[in-house]
Copies of this chain bind each other. A is one copy, B any other.
Amino acid sequence: MAEKVKRRKTQAKTAIVDILKQSTQAMTHQDIELALDGLCNRVTIYRVLDRLVKEDLAHKLVDVDGVTKYLACRDCGENHLHHHVHFSCEQCGELTCLYHVVPKFTLPEGYHLSEVNFTVRGDCPKCSATSSAAE
């Protein structure tokens, strides 16, 4: 029943994967478009990103403010679950994975977990350093 689609290695896909891999933080569609500098069409970026997510090469995250961002899949293991915390900086706006911060919790009876999205907002080390220095 599962349609087997033969993926192709294209210029746009290669470029986008490279850009995502080079970034330490999650990127918006717009970030990527800017980085690509006209290499391909806006729509193509959306479509490539969709494919990357399907192929488990990238993750699609929604930030606390509703902004959709993409992240290269690194060492996520089998299921590509993000059990760790994502940190969203209120000052510089960057969204990063805190791979080592894995919250502990227990769901009540009857709830069945399939995915987790734990985002913490605040000031990142960089920004809290500069803002406290300014005082």
Contact = CB atoms under 8 A, between A and B. Distances in A.
A107 B124 contact: no
A114 B100 CA distance: 20
A64 B66 contact: no
Contacts of A25: none
A75 interface: no
Given A62-B65, A66-B66, A117-B64, A101 B108 contact: yes
Nearest to A89: B111
Which bracket fits the contact residues of A? 35 or more
Contacts of A4: none
Given A62-B64, A103-B104, A105-B103, A110 B122 contact: no
A133 interface: no
Contacts of A111: 87, 98, 120, 122-125, 128
Contacts of A12: none
A118 B107 CA distance: 13
Interface of A: 62-66, 68, 85, 87, 90, 98, 100-125, 128-129
